Chains A and B, each alone.
Chain A
Amino acid sequence: AQTVTQSQPEMSVQEAETVTLSCTYDTSESDYYLFWYKQPPSRQMILVIRQEAYKQQNATENRFSVNFQKAAKSFSLKISDSQLGDAAMYFCAYRSAKGSNYKLTFGKGTLLTVNP
């Protein structure tokens, strides 16, 4: 079974600075998808960014980018120019690309605080 580990329960960053959230995963599969979801205090889960394992190029979405290291099974999220609205719980998630299982496997989350 796949597992996702987020080793930083909490992180903090100053407004306008850059922060990196870590995620590692364990899988025997070669084809899969990785996601970062954001959960602000409103509780709503929002997709931040996704990465296909077959793509070597790291995904970017505006101020959000990932560092995908397939061999190391690492998928970190970098937030540049942090804003107060980035304060939230961030979840890393894994999804297999094959078979009958469509489920997302989540890490336990990293709570990000943004200090003004």
Chain B
Amino acid sequence: NAGVTQTPKFQVLKTGQSMTLQCAQDMNHEYMSWYRQDPGMGLRLIHYSVGAGITDQGEVPNGYNVSRSTTEDFPLRLLSAAPSQTSVYFCASSRLDRSYEQYFGPGTRLTVT
């Protein structure tokens, strides 16, 4: 049972490049989400999904796309990277039970130059 996995762990992009951050979970969780963590800002929700085929925006969705074709995977796409997207990105999953904790992946540190 690997929990929540994220790849890559580190990435450097040039402005304008695109990339996909991968997230997978093996706990059969319905709910998955992406956060970004910036110094002094806590974690802010980018996008989330309550099941395969269902996604919605969080509080900072601009510049990011997501899709959920399977229960296990929830990739985050940066279409045209900007320096403002330099951050640490966390994927999390949980059951559709609000008392249930969210399990977090190890994070991806992204630098956009």
Contact = CB atoms under 8 A, between A and B. Distances in A.
Interface residues of A, number: 24
Interface string B26-47: 0000010101000011111100
Contacts of B102: 47, 104
Contacts of A91: 42-43
Contacts of A95: 98
Interface string B75-113: 000000000000010101010101101101011000000
Interface of B: 31, 33, 35, 40-45, 48, 50, 58, 88, 90, 92, 94, 96, 98-99, 101-102, 104, 106-107
Interface in A101-116: 102-109
B99 A44 contact: no
B106 A102 contact: no
Which residue, of B43, B44, B92, B106, has the highest number of chain A Cβ atoms within 10 A?
B43
A86 interface: no
Interface string A1-17: 00010000100000000
Contact of B50 (A35, A42, A45, A102): A102
Contact of B42 (A47, A50, A109): A109
A4 B41 CA distance: 11
A102 B93 CA distance: 11
Contacts of B92: 45, 104
Interface in A63-106: 91, 95-97, 100, 102-106
A96 B42 contact: no
